[in-house]
Chains A and B, each alone.
Chain A
Amino acid sequence: MSASPDSAHDADSLDARQRRLAAVRPRLLAFARLQLRDASEADDVVQEALITAVEKDAHFAGKSGYETWVFGILKNKILDALRAQKRRGKWQSWEDDGVEAAVENQFQATGRWQDMARPRSWGDPESTLASERFWQVFDSCMIALPENIARIFTMRELMGLSTRQICEEAGIKENNCWVILHRGRLLLRACLEKGWLTEADS
Chain B
Amino acid sequence: MKMLMCREATRLMSKRLDVSLGIQEKMALKFHLAMCGACKQCNKQFQLLHDAGRVLEHQTTAMPFDVGGDSR
- The distance in angstroms between the C-alpha atoms of A121 and B64, with both chains bound, is 32
Check: A45 CB closer than 8 A to any chain B CB. no
Residues of A within 8 A of B42 (CB): 119, 189
SS class of chain B's interface: helix, strand, loop or mixed?
A: helix
Residues of A within 8 A of B66 (CB): 23
Interface size on A, residues (CB 8 A): 49
Most chain B CB inside 10 Å of its own CB: which residue of A111, A119, A122, A129? A119
Check: B44 CB closer than 8 A to any chain A CB. yes
Residues of A within 8 A of B47 (CB): 125
Residues of B49-72 whose CB lies within 8 A of A? 49-53, 55-57, 59-64, 66-70
Residues of B within 8 A of A178 (CB): 11, 14-15, 18-19
Check: B27 CB closer than 8 A to any chain A CB. no
SS class of chain A's interface: helix, strand, loop or mixed?
A: helix
Given A71-B57, A119-B45, A107 and B6 contact (CB-CB distance below 8 Å): yes
Given A27-B60, A120-B41, A182-B11, A9 and B53 contact (CB-CB distance below 8 Å): no
- B residues touching A (Cβ–Cβ < 8 Å)? 5-8, 10-11, 14-15, 17-19, 38-39, 41-42, 44-53, 55-57, 59-64, 66-70
